[in-house]
Structure 1
Amino acid sequence: MDPTSSELIHILPFIAVGFAAQVVDGALGMAFGVISNTLLISLGVPPAAASAGVHSVETFTTAISGISHALHRNVDWRLFLRLMIPGVIGGALGAYVLSNVDAAVVKPFILAYLTGIGLYLLVRAWRHRTHAREPRVVEPLGLVGGFLDAAGGGGWGPVVTSNLLVQGASPRTTIGTVNTVEFFLTATISATFITQLGWGAFTMATVGLLIGGIFAAPFGAILAKRVPPRVLLTLVGIILTLTSFWGLYNSLRH
């Protein structure tokens, strides 16, 4: 077997993971960072390097996803502006902290909180009608979401999307807006990681995630536009609960 074929076989699983994770992320406003970061860490990549690699990939996938959401009119531009600046500030701080301090101590508490939010969204989706209203707490949410995303290797979508939905925001425009803001967040986090860690985090695995993620990026916006709000809310609740509970289980086990 020639070296090129061998490299292709090794990169295919990462392409598949990148594709699947980005379809879910684009449609539901979360999961790419959590799924990809968990995979890289399970393969022995250090947390800071894994987060740097995933965020470098997300810089490209979120750019395409954001454009697609904008074309499908899934973006609330007022909400976009309220989230972007505090999100970018929080992301830069979180990347610096993870590069220099072990942030694993707070991770179980964040995951427990997100598991609870996921269960609440499921209850809300099935027991109540979903009447959209403008969320009140936005800027602090952007700051915290950006910080936790960088420090935890994934968390912008789970934290920001879920909390905006809890406040009654429209699922379609919330998912589209959070995905679009994420481009600016991931670009900032990636740049901060590069200044702290150099280029060592960019491996064959991140290339595979990038290829799969770029191919999948346009599809999420189409799904977010066409799936009914109650179904979107239910799917967000399921994904958030399962991924957070799994992360909590693993963090408490070690």
Structure 2
Amino acid sequence: MVSEFLLLALVGFCAQLVDGALGMAFGLISTSSLLALGIPPAHASAAVHTAELATTAVSGVSHLAHGNVDRRLLVRLALAGAAGGSLGAFVLSNVEGSAIRPFVAAYLLVMGGLILLRVARSARRSDASPAGAAPLGLVGGFLDAIGGGGWGPMVTSTLIGSGHAPRKVIGSVNASEFFVTAAISATFFGQLGATHLWNVAGLIVGGVLAAPLAGYLVRRIRPEPLMIAVGLVISLLALRELAIAFKVF
């Protein structure tokens, strides 16, 4: 149990280092790693989202304080994302782990590719608009719960890629993520109970230890190479899961 706790703490530490430098990917890295350790998809997603409650709350308050949030966009994303996330958590909790595992791995592979795509995309500077936010939030919340992460990369990339100002989009998406995460975590607790709390503790301890280093990383590391590395790691872990699921080796 101690060795497993330390391993989960290491996962949380590395994931938080990346998330602190890029503002995303804690969920994707943690979920990919937990699946690789043999933890069932529902328990992996439940652990990651519960651990994210504290980090998303702090992030959201920070963005609100700095004026980075479009309140109309926030409300639409939060409501739709919470609904989609609850549905996704319910579905994942009631499907056999071995059956859903290949689909989760395929989703993570897509998210890894999406992160790589973000490196090559340049964003325009128009004001963020709430148009289309509700359907995007519904789908983003559902897939975030199913895949154990991806709300930020999916929703942020879609809004910025469609021409919205990055500052308002990033702030609004980050602030709304707390409500999405809270809804997903509550649904998992209702469906699974507290069986995933040991995993949560390890992720939180590692994340808390890494959090103070985020400011240093932001100043010292260029985001593009790190995004490429994260995209590749997530994609490779997802390919490994797919290979195991389909008995390639």
- Indicate the TM-score class for this superposition, using the shorter chain for normalisation: 0.7 to 0.9
- Report the Cα offset of residue 212 of structure 1: 3.2
Of the three residues 37, 42, 45, the one matched with 2:36 is 42
- Amino acid paired to 1:56: T
Check the 8 A contact 1:88/1:143 in 2, yes or no. Answer: yes
Deviations 1:19-70 (A, max 9, x none): 4423433553421111111222222221111111111111122112222222
Of the three residues 86, 92, 95, the one matched with 2:89 is 95
Distance verdict in 2 for CA 1:150–1:26, change over 3 Å: same
Structure 2: tracts of 5 or more residues without a match? 245-249
- Report the Cα offset of residue 175 of structure 1: 2.5
Of the three residues 49, 53, 57, the one matched with 1:63 is 57
Structure 1: tracts of 5 or more residues without a match? 1-5
State the partner residue of 1:241.
Answer: 231
State the partner residue of 2:124.
Answer: 131
Of the three residues 159, 165, 169, the one matched with 1:164 is 159
Of the three residues 139, 143, 154, the one matched with 2:138 is 143
State the partner residue of 1:191.
Answer: 186
Distance verdict in 2 for CA 1:96–1:37, change over 3 Å: same
Provide the C-alpha distance between the structure 2 equivalents of 1:55 and 1:245, rounded to a whole number of angstroms: 20
TM-score, with length taken from structure 2: 0.79
Determine if the alignment matches structure 1 residue 73 to structure 2 residue 70.
Answer: no
Check the 8 A contact 1:150/1:189 in 2, yes or no. Answer: yes
Provide the C-alpha distance between the structure 1 equivalents of 2:56 and 2:102, rounded to a whole number of angstroms: 29
Distance verdict in 2 for CA 1:137–1:221, change over 3 Å: farther
SS at match of 1:103: helix
Deviations 1:129-154 (A, max 9, x none): x4222354321111111000111111
Pairs within 5 Å for 1:15-54: 15-54=9-48
SS at match of 2:197: coil
Determine if the alignment matches structure 1 residue 182 to structure 2 residue 193.
Answer: no
- Report the Cα offset of residue 79 of structure 1: 1.7
Distance verdict in 2 for CA 1:159–1:222, change over 3 Å: farther
- Report the Cα offset of residue 160 of structure 1: 1.0
- Report the Cα offset of residue 82 of structure 1: 1.9
RMSD (Å) for aligned C-alpha atoms: 3.1
SS at match of 2:232: helix
Distance verdict in 2 for CA 1:141–1:244, change over 3 Å: farther
Provide the C-alpha distance between the structure 1 equivalents of 2:191 and 2:143, rounded to a whole number of angstroms: 18
TM-score, with length taken from structure 1: 0.78
Deviations 1:180-212 (A, max 9, x none): 211111111111111111111111x32121133
